[in-house]
Amino acid sequence: MIHQRKLKSVPKGIGMTSQGTRDRLVRRLRDNGIRDERVLKAIATTPRHEFVDEALSSRAYEDTALPIGLSQTISQPWVVAKMTEALLDGGSPQKVLEVGTGSGYQAAILASLIPKVFTVERIEELLKLARRRFHKLGLHHIYTRYADGHIGWPSQAPFDGIIVTAAAIELPEELLLQLRIGGVLVAPVEKGGMQRLLAIRRTEEGFEEKDLGGVIFVPMLSGLS
């Protein structure tokens, strides 16, 4: 069973960061096809303005990606919701891996639904900021690692689910093999000059792929920064 968790001392916000503004975002997501009420509740209760620069906080609850520096972005809320919904589809994951911590927002959404969240980031400065946000919000069941995302976190495998927040030309086999049988990996992948969001389930026989539609993500890069 998936349990909804409360954030510690969640800032309520005012004006364009208020709960009313978050609720309007949730209505837009529901209107645009997000059906899992657990995911919608997580979006409603997670303070996205805490994951962007203060200068952009008034835009935090727009359904759009925003820059977070270092040529990276915080994903569009609809995409975050869609990926989370796909990860939860047909199961109750207890342990998941995120590749690409970024601002930390996707990990925070996962942490409100899943007991153990492991997240890997290759840009040290972003990871330090995300760690401070997790601490501020009391998200102590998010475990972070400074590493190349292509490697994943093999010592913690297998995972019930994996989310990749950057677009790969080809998904690393090492990541796919860190899925348990029955687990789902959700990732944007380059196909024919476009990015497609894929949900890939590991089975006893191999992998089953489902196309969830077109997306736009930053590219998945190797190495540390």
Query: How do the domains of the chain map onto residue ranges?
Result: 15-214
Residue in 57, 75, 103, 112 annotated catalytic: 75
The mean-pLDDT minimum among 4-8, 28-32, 213-217, 221-225 falls in: 4-8
Active site residue 75: yes
pTM, whole model, 2 decimals?
A: 0.92
Q: In what order do the strands lie in the sheet with 142-146?
A: 142-146, 116-121, 95-99, 159-164, 179-191, 194-202, 207-214
79/76 Cα distance (integer angstroms): 5
CATH 3.40.50.10330 applies to domain 15-214: no
Average pLDDT over residues 91-100: 95
* pLDDT above 70: residue 65: yes
